[in-house]
Chains A and B, each alone.
Chain A
Amino acid sequence: MSYSKDIKKEVSQYIIIFFALAILTIITVRIAYMDVGKMWIAVLLAMVVASIKGTLVAGFFMHLFHEKKIIYLFLGITLVLLCSLFFITFGSISDQVGEVEQSVIKSTSSYIH
């Protein structure tokens, strides 16, 4: 017995996604060795490529593009909580960046003098 027509179609889709992921991995590494100038551009590029790869794995390998509504609901709640967690973290950094920089400047200048 061999794969049915539907399963054969699925398998060929998996292989295509595999090659896309492999190419995107090489792109990720290439970007890391490029001089993009600013740190935020490097982070943005790395996260954009990682997000595309993550979407391909979740969408095709985990079949999330064709799942039941209840799974979308649970993942939606998780996404909101995750974003809140990052938002709180970024807020905390924004509160302290000035203080941290000032304390570094103070300690550096007292060391120099």
Chain B
Amino acid sequence: MEVPYTVKPRLDTGLYNAKLGIWLFLASEVMLFGALFSSYILLRAAAPSWYAGPDVLNVPIGTLNTLILIVSSVTILLSWASIRSNEIKKYKLYMGLTILLGALFLFIKVFFEYIPKIEHGHIPSENNFYATYYTITGLHAIHIIGGLIVNLYLWGPGFKMFKTEPERFSNRIETAGLYWHFVDIVWIFLFPTIYLLPGS
């Protein structure tokens, strides 16, 4: 049986089902990260003192990772533009770049932030600052891993769909892109909140 509305938009919503689905999923993700941010505010407001982000976290590394995510948001858009123009080589190049940039983000996060901090004894149980830092950035990193798995599938084995159902495949790239941009937006708010605010 054929899955309906994978390409054609539904008359009532005006969208193909996967697009509506990804937006609903992203709405739930807004609430997930919203709960974490409000917990952060509550913990911080109740704490007698709080570290200044720039004093204990690596701001240049955080800035570099912000720029890496922004570039990867552009490359995934270019991969979508390429697949809509039937430019397979360009699609593979831009999606490959998106995957590499995502992996680079994680590599920097783990080897230039988490490991040096853990080696210096700064673990989540040290205080509320590190507990919130590891929880929020860790959950964000898990989202990056999820996006990488999907993007790798679309770059590799999942690409065969393009030969039989090119429009449906193009829609898959669009929905994967929407998720990837959302992860970028989360980092855009997370970076100044955790890394840059002054202490109290």
Contact = CB atoms under 8 A, between A and B. Distances in A.
A52 to B, nearest CB: 10
Interface residues of B, number: 53
A102 interface: no
A89 B38 contact: yes
B41 A89 contact: yes
Interface in B147-200: 177-178, 181-182, 184-185, 188-189, 191-193, 195-198, 200
Contacts of B74: 14-15, 18, 61
Contacts, number: 136
A78 B86 contact: no
Residues of B contacting A: mostly: helix
A85 B38 contact: yes
A78 B27 contact: yes
Q: With a 10 A CB-CB cut-off, give which of B23, B46, B192, B200 has the most chain A CB atoms.
A: B192
Interface string B25-64: 0010011001101110110011010000110000100010
B192 A11 contact: no
B67 A22 contact: yes
27 contacts: A1-B85, A2-B87, A3-B87, A10-B77, A11-B77, A18-B71, A25-B70, A28-B196, A32-B192, A32-B197, A32-B198, A47-B192, A50-B188, A58-B185, A61-B73, A61-B181, A70-B13, A70-B20, A71-B20, A74-B24, A78-B30, A85-B34, A86-B34, A89-B38, A93-B41, A93-B45, A93-B46
